[in-house]
Amino acid sequence: MSCTIKKDLLSEGKTKKIYITNNPLEVLIHHKDCLTALDGVKKNFLQDKGILNNEITTLIFQFLNSCGIQTHFIRKINNREQLCHRVNIIPIEFVVRNIVAGSMSKRLGVKEGISLSSPIFEIFYKNDKLKDPLINDHHAVFLEIISYEELSTIYNITSKINHIIKKFFLEKNIILVDFKIEFGKDYKNNILLSDEISPDTCRFWDKKTMKKLDKDPFRTGLKEKEEVFDIYMEILKRLNVS
């Protein structure tokens, strides 16, 4: 295994930094100690939160890789960083909803907690200036950020991911309410699951108590940031139980 050398900062988002390496086809993703909500309007520093998200994402992506899902994840480098295939991120957030919650509940005036007979897929245009608006397939193709064929491919992959991780989490007594994922293209134009899967990007509820096990309590102001850390730690503990 060749030695990976972290070089210049490539980009920085709300919760992660991405560095180029001595291999032009690989990057290092560094998880920061930032807790954000409401498109970054609400944010706070949370000591060691990046360590938890790095470990949680590592465990989930390793599992998805073992299930045949192609991801950008290669291996964990240290407690904050992962080595990943370098991709060009498609500027769309793909959201899968298994239970009515969050913005869907508010937008449609539907009570939170209603289970859906089949998952609902939504896409959001990743554009900070426009505050990541909800769009449809035709908007996405019109904006020339993706093709109908690529959308079909990604929806198929996303459906498989939902099926796999719903069962995976349920075995840990965790209900996967909804989640956001992103995809990118590698140098061969392969579409790879990218970014992260963590309590930052998912809604988790405890199977028995329906307690929220994600950052929703921080988003709504019902919990302090320290209590959210304990929630993230609980997710990690459950994932580590075989």
Q: What is the pTM of this model?
A: 0.94
State pLDDT tens for residues 159-170. 999 999 999 999
State pLDDT tens for residues 222-236. 566 678 899 999 999
Q: Which long-range contacts (CB under 8 A, 24 or more apart) does 30-33 make?
A: 30/80, 30/81, 31/57, 31/80, 31/81, 31/196
For residues 235 and 176, is the Cβ–Cβ distance under 8 A? Answer: no
| Mean confidence (pLDDT) of the chain | 94
